[in-house]
Amino acid sequence: MSGLATRLYKGEAGLNVIGRRKLWFSIAATALLIAALSFGLRGFTLGIDFTGGNKFQVPASTGSITQIEADIGSVLAGVNSTSKVASTQRLGGGEGTYEIKTSPLSPEESFQVKSQLAEKLGIAPSKISDTQVSGA
C-alpha cells in the first residue's frame, strides 16, 4: 500500500474525523432521511410474490418475446378483461423459456388462458406450465 491508504492505516493522514463528528453525523442523518422519504413518498412496487397472480412458462422456440406478450395480452383480454400481464422475461440459455406473470386468475380462467395460448402458438397445452401464486 502506498499513498493515502497507508497514511490512513498508520494514522499519519492528519484527518480530523472526530473533531468534525457533527458534520459526519449530519451527512449520515441526511442520507437516512432521503432514504426514508423515498420509501414513504414513492412506496413499494410489489410483484406477484406479494400480491398474488399467475405464472405461465412457454418454450422460447414458439416465437419472440414481443409476439408472446401480444398473444397472451389478447388471450387475457378475451378471458378476463380486468387481468393484465405484469411482466415477461426470458429464462435460461439455449432454447430457454419465457415466463409471463399475470394478475390473479381463477383456476378456470387460468385453464382457458393456457389452452387458448397453446392454440394460438400452435403447441400442445402440456408444453405450457402454469402456476398460481398466492399473495403474502
**Which DSSP state fits 103?**
S
**High-pLDDT (> 90) share of the chain, %:** 29
Q: What are phi and psi of 50, to 5 degrees?
A: -105, -30
pLDDT band at 111 (very low <50, low <70, confident <90, very high): very high
pTM, entire model: 0.66
**High-pLDDT (> 70) share of the chain, %:** 97
Do residues 111 and 67 lie in contact, with contact meaning Cβ atoms separated by under 8 Å?
no
Q: What is the pLDDT of residue 23?
A: 93
Question: In 3-state terms, what secondary structure has residue 127?
Answer: helix
Lowest average pLDDT, out of 1-5, 36-40, 75-79, goes to 1-5
> Could you give the domains of the chain?
4-42 (no CATH), 48-133 (3.30.70.980)
Question: Mean pLDDT across the chain, nearest whole number?
Answer: 87
Q: From CA 127, how far away is CA 68, in angstroms rounded?
A: 14
List pLDDT tens digits, range 22-58: 999 999 999 999 999 998 898 888 777 788 889 999 9
| In the predicted structure, residue 108 carries a pLDDT above the cut 70 | yes
